[in-house]
Structure 1
Amino acid sequence: MADGTATRSGLLDTARRAAESVADPEMPMLTLADLGVLRGVDLAGDGTVTATITPTYSGCPAMAAMRDDLVARLRDHGFPAVRVRVSLHPAWSSDWITPRGRRALAEHGLSAPGPAPHRGGPVPLTLLPVRRDLACPRCGARDTEPVSEFGPTACTALYRCASCLEPFQHVKEV
């Protein structure tokens, strides 16, 4: 391998590690990589780093913060030219949350999503509450009840455990 190729490979690895370490602004126990929104990191011949992200949903208000945090982190790691590209295809799925990310959610008292519904087609819009069979992230009991389909973020729903009486957030399946 030529020396320039080795250097480029090392720079790309540094850029990837830096981008993969950026925390999600709404759920800071997760990195963008853990959440599955960081889709790729590329290094152009002129040294420009392009990070590609996919929003959890099209109206996600955290996208600007994700972009700004990625740019700042990559610049802090010595990459002055940074571009963040948004990719909408394929659409993000909660199935992309890594096992490490799912553990981090549970460790912080959030219920991780189950398998995404309706793979291969659109998710039907319904105004009725979504029935989920959840385990409480605190005590493990399955006797849970919905409080609200909307939590502090649009990506979460609020539940309460009937056994330990603790409220918890559930990250929605998409």
Structure 2
Amino acid sequence: MIRTVSAQHVWDALKAVPDPEIPVVSIVDMGMVRDVVVESGRVQVTFTPTFSGCPALHVIRQSIEDAVQDLGVRDVEVLSTLTPPWTTDWITPAARERLREYGIAPPGPADEGGLIQLDTEPVRCPRCGSLDVRLTASFGPTLCKRLHVCNACKEPFESFKSV
């Protein structure tokens, strides 16, 4: 337990909170944590979910609260905001590499319009690196991913949509 908790302590603790759907990256790696305020022993954390209808919102909120309380803070407020909307551009470079190693093709840069594009950008197989891939489903196990099969190595994989 830390005697006096700083914003940096909170940020460091949140770096250990995994994304509930992709455990190889943290909510900080994904760019979901927007702000941390520490004032008079009280901590307020603001986060932006990857999608407004994300089914894991309650898990993320509870995980943030638990991580801060593990620092010895009892007065924790967790706020979610949709403004500005989350973008895949907030994913850190290290997280993009961990996604690839995990078998998920990381997203390219988001379009200026900020909307999910119906025309898919070129996707590289995270296993063999080939661009010879086939889209098999526009929506994967979560709304933020698509399903593909690599024609070169024949492996199925997911890709992140750029938003």
Give the structure-1-normalised TM-score: 0.87
Aligned equivalents of 1:160 and 1:105: distance in 2? 17
Aligned equivalents of 1:122 and 1:98: distance in 2? 18
Question: Identity of counterpart residues, as a percentage?
Answer: 39
The one-letter amino acid of 2:87's match is: S
Aligned equivalents of 2:91 and 2:17: distance in 1? 15
Secondary structure at the counterpart of residue 77 of structure 2: strand
Aligned equivalents of 2:90 and 2:69: distance in 1? 27
Q: Is the 8 A contact 2:87 2:114 kept in 1?
A: no
Out of 42, 46, 52, the residue aligned to residue 46 of structure 2 is: 52
Out of 7, 22, 31, the residue aligned to residue 36 of structure 1 is: 31
Q: 1:134 to 1:67 in 2, by over 3 A?
A: same
Deviation, 1:13, is 2.0
**Which structure 2 residue ranges, 5 or more long, are not aligned?**
none
Secondary structure at the counterpart of residue 33 of structure 1: coil
Q: 1:71 to 1:85 in 2, by over 3 A?
A: same
Deviations 1:50-81 (A, max 9, x none): 11100112111111110000111111121111
**Are 2:106 and 1:131 equivalent residues in the alignment?**
no
Secondary structure at the counterpart of residue 35 of structure 1: coil
Aligned equivalents of 2:114 and 2:158: distance in 1? 25
Structure 1 consecutive aligned stretches of length 4 or more whose deviation exceeds 4 Å: none
Higher helix share: 1
Moved more, 157-166 or 146-155: 146-155
Aligned-residue CA RMSD (Å): 1.6
**Are 2:163 and 1:171 equivalent residues in the alignment?**
no
The one-letter amino acid of 2:150's match is: C
The one-letter amino acid of 1:169's match is: E
Deviations 1:107-160 (A, max 9, x none): 10110000101x2x4527x7xx53321110000011001010111111111000
Deviation, 1:29, is 0.7
Q: Which residue of 1 aligns with 2:130?
A: 141
Q: Which residue of 2 aligns with 1:96?
A: 90
Give the structure-2-normalised TM-score: 0.92
Aligned equivalents of 2:120 and 2:50: distance in 1? 21
Larger radius of gyration: 1
Q: Which residue of 2 aligns with 1:82?
A: 76
